[in-house]
Amino acid sequence: MATLGIPSPKASPRPQRRTALHAVPDSPGVQVVGQAAESIISEKHIGGRIKHLRLKKSMGLVDLGRHTGLSASFLSQLETGRVVPTLRNLARIATVFSKDLSYFFEPEPQSLFRLHRGKERVRLPQSGVDDPSYFFESLGYLVPDRQLDPYFAEFLPAKPGREPHSHRHFGCEFLYLLSGSLIVRHGAAVHRVDPGDAIYFDAATSHSYQCGGDAPATALIVTLPQPVHAGGDGLRGSQPPSHASKTRRPLPMQPNAAGEIPRAG
């Protein structure tokens, strides 16, 4: 007869109940089931990242296989997620594209997209003058670390006796005239720009705008703030070089027989 709480010598031990394996954070010796590992691989979209690198280099599966020692069929299964890659295979692929192994496990970068509502834009006056001759609205103010600055500009009809205010800055500038007429001064040259005309110029050269008609002129302007690379007719010395070596030089400020200012281009 067994005493209280002590099993009889003849009693068999109760069988242990088997449970599924679960990952416990910071617990040594814990095993992870294969399905969980495959889920991690799937969430990182490793196959898609491999395909993106390959297509970016215009490389076929056979070419990638030649560089990695893996078969084209196996690489195809990697890209479609039908097989789980090993670290050794990922290292081979990463080396081909000059990537670190961590590239395949880092968070995917979010695609840049910003919508600028017209009613939310801020209309700002020309800077540096008391009586502005044009107003502009930034079209890229919501984009962080942007590589270019787009603007919508409205140029008011010129007042008698008022000279345009010139300015200069690093980089290039692009202007597309939407409506009206515009007179653009670039250095010692003057051009008349009409709707549909586009100009691209070195912004390090002093330039200015002036409405060329009785009605306001509107334009889309894009500036690239980076310094311009040297060209065949680049400026010498400490000034940034000119933007183009093969474009036609601007016409000098000389009206034709009819007293008209030459058009841009």
Q: Is the domain of 134 the same as that of 92?
A: no
User: Hey, what are 39's tokens?
Assistant: 């889920």
**Separation of alpha carbons 122 and 44, rounded Å:** 41
CATH code for the domain of 129: 2.60.120.10
Q: Which of 16-25, 121-130, 245-254 has the highest mean pLDDT?
A: 121-130
Look at 205 and 144; give whichever has higher pLDDT.
205
Helix axes 87-96 and 61-68, enclosed angle (nearest 10): 110
In a domain, 55, yes or no: yes
pLDDT band at 135 (very low <50, low <70, confident <90, very high): very high
Strand partners, 155: 134, 217
**Separation of alpha carbons 173 and 6, rounded Å:** 92
Q: Is the domain of 196 the same as that of 144?
A: yes
Q: Is the domain of 147 the same as that of 216?
A: yes
In a domain, 153, yes or no: yes
Q: Indicate if the pLDDT at residue 7 is higher than 50.
A: no
Lowest mean pLDDT among 36-40, 138-142, 192-196: 36-40
With pLDDT > 90 as the criterion, what percentage of the chain qualifies?
Answer: 39
Q: Is the domain of 95 the same as that of 127?
A: no
Q: Is the domain of 162 the same as that of 217?
A: yes
pTM: 0.50
Q: Is the domain of 45 the same as that of 73?
A: yes
In a domain, 91, yes or no: yes
CATH code for the domain of 91: 1.10.260.40
Residue numbers of the domain that contains 148: 120-224
In a domain, 157, yes or no: yes
Q: Is the domain of 59 the same as that of 93?
A: yes
Alpha helix ranges (H) inside the chain:
34-43, 46-56, 61-68, 72-80, 87-96
Helix (H) or strand (E) holding 219: strand 217-224
* Average pLDDT, integer, range 203-220: 95
User: Hey, what are 219's tokens?
Assistant: 């334009």
| DSSP label of 104 | G
Q: Which of 12-26, 65-79, 183-197, 250-264 has the highest mean pLDDT?
A: 183-197
User: Hey, what are 72's tokens?
Assistant: 């084209």
Q: Is the domain of 139 the same as that of 210?
A: yes
Q: Is the domain of 128 the same as that of 213?
A: yes
Q: Is the domain of 219 the same as that of 144?
A: yes
In a domain, 257, yes or no: no
Q: Is the domain of 74 the same as that of 125?
A: no
DSSP for 172-211? EEEEEEEES-EEEEETTEEEEE-TT-EEEEETTS-EEEEE
Q: In what order do the strands lie in the sheet with 198-202?
A: 123-125, 134-138, 149-155, 217-224, 172-179, 198-202
In a domain, 19, yes or no: no
pLDDT digits (tens, 9 = 90+) for 69-107: 999 999 999 888 888 888 899 999 999 998 888 888 877
**Separation of alpha carbons 239 and 205, rounded Å:** 9
Name the domain count of the chain: 2
Q: Is the domain of 207 the same as that of 146?
A: yes
| pLDDT score of 1 | 42
In a domain, 236, yes or no: no
